[in-house]
Amino acid sequence: MSKVIVMAGTGFDTMGGISSVVKVYRDAGLFQRYPIVYLATHRDGGAAAKLGAALGAYGRYLLMLLTFRVGLLHVHVASRASFWRKTPLFLLAFLFRVPAILHLHGAEFVIFYEQECGPLRRRFIRAIFNGTRRVVVLSDMWKQWVESIGVTTPVHAIYNPVLLPAATDWSARAAGQLLFLGRLGKRKGTYDLVDALARLPQAPQALLGGDGETEQTADYARQRGLGEQVKLLGWVGPEQKAGLLASASIYVLPSYNEGLPMSLLEAMAAGMPVLSTPVGGIPEAVSDGVEGFLVEAGDVEALAARLEQLLSDPALAQRMGAAARRKVETTFASGAVLPRIEQLYQELGYPRA
C-alpha cells in the first residue's frame, strides 16, 4: 500500500480562511494529482461537535501512522486554539519520523506568540516550527517575521490561491454598492467602516457578510444613523458570495491584522477595486493607487476620503478593478500558486501523479 500525504485543517464546510484555501486546492485538482487524505480537525458547532471532530481526526491519523501509511504531513495552522489543536499531529509525526509541513495562516499569530505566550511556550512553538521540514507562510512579511523569531527550517512565502471566475461586465454592477466579507468586529475594521460611511455626504449601500459581532454592528450602524444603508447578510455561502462579488462595485476590508485574506483575493479576481489596509500580506496583493487604495488601520478620515473618491469616480473604480483581476491572473490564481505547493511535495519525495 502506497503512502499518502495527510493534510489537516478545518472542515470544508467550516467558516473561515483555511477552509476557503483548502477548497481551492481540492477544486483546482491538487487532491487528484497527489495521494492526499484530508483530516478535518475542526468544524463549526458546539464544544461537543468540535471535540468530536478533533478526536476523530487524531484517531484516524494515529491508525494511519501505526500502519505506516503516512509519508508526509501538511498542516494548516492559525493561532491560539488552532495551533494547540494541531500540536499532537506534529508531535506524532516527529515520533514516527514523518516529514511535516507547517502552513501558517493566523492573522494574529504575532500577537499570540509575542503577547500571549510566555518564554516556555514561545520556546515550544519554535521547537514545533524547527521540527518540521518546511514552513509555509502567506507573504514575504510573514516570512521575515517567522525567521526573526529563530526558526531555522526553510520558510517559503506562498500566496493563497483563488479560482478565477468568469469576467463580469462593469455595467452590470450596482453603482456605489460596497461589499465587506469576514468576521464582523474590531479586528476586521467593521466599526471603522461604519464611522467612515457616516462621514460621507450621502452614505452608499454597504453589504456586510459574515459572522461575529453582528448584533453589535447593527446597533452601531443604527446609532450612527445608517440603519438603512448598512445591511447585514450573515454568513454567505459560495453561490451567494459569487453573486455579491459579481454585483458590488467596491470591496472594503479595513483590517488591523491579516495573513492574506481570501475574501480580498476573491474580490480582486472578480474585478473589484479594493479599499483596505497595509497589514499582513495585503500590500503584496494591492499596490496603493493601482488595484485599489490602502489606508492605515484606524484612520477613519482617510478611509472615508478614499471611499468618496471611488464612489465619485466610477471610471477610476473600473480601472482599478481591471488591474486587480490582472494581478490575480498573474500572481494569485490557482495555476500560478499551486505549482509552488507541488514543488514542496516533490522535494519531500512525492512526484506528481
Supply 161's cell numbers.
490561491
Q: Is residue 353 part of a domain?
A: no
Burial 279-312 (b: 16+ CB within 10 A, else e): bbbbbbbbeeeebbbbbebeebebbbebbbebbe
pLDDT at residue 265 above 90? yes
Q: Are 12 and 40 in contact (CB under 8 A)?
A: yes
pLDDT confidence tier of residue 157, bands split at 50, 70 and 90: very high
Q: Are 205 and 177 in contact (CB under 8 A)?
A: yes
Phi, psi of 89 (to 5 degrees): -65, -45
Q: Are 269 and 162 in contact (CB under 8 A)?
A: yes
Which candidate, 4, 15, 69, places its Cα nearest to that of 184?
15
- Kindly state whether residues 328 and 338 are assigned to the same domain: no
Q: Which helix (H) or strand (E) holds 137?
A: strand 134-137
- Kindly state whether residues 54 and 149 are assigned to the same domain: yes
Residue 1 confidence (pLDDT): 55
Q: Is residue 129 part of a domain?
A: yes
Cα gap 316→249, rounded to integer Å: 11
Cα gap 170→351, rounded to integer Å: 42
pLDDT confidence tier of residue 14, bands split at 50, 70 and 90: confident
- Kindly state whether residues 183 and 62 are assigned to the same domain: no
Write out pLDDT tens, residues 197-255: 999 999 899 999 999 999 999 999 999 999 999 999 999 989 999 999 999 999 999 99
Residue 39 confidence (pLDDT): 98
- Kindly state whether residues 178 and 312 are assigned to the same domain: yes
Write out pLDDT tens, residues 54-81: 999 999 999 999 999 999 999 999 999 9
Percentage of the chain modeled with pLDDT above 90: 94
Count of helices and strands (H, E) across the chain: 15, 12
Mean pLDDT of the chain: 96
pTM: 0.93
- Kindly state whether residues 142 and 177 are assigned to the same domain: no
pLDDT at residue 135 above 80? yes
- Kindly state whether residues 193 and 311 are assigned to the same domain: yes
Residue 110 confidence (pLDDT): 97
Q: Are 276 and 189 in contact (CB under 8 A)?
A: no
Q: Are 193 and 180 in contact (CB under 8 A)?
A: yes
Write out pLDDT tens, residues 289-337: 999 999 999 999 999 999 999 999 999 999 999 999 999 999 999 999 9
Structural domain harbouring 293: 170-332
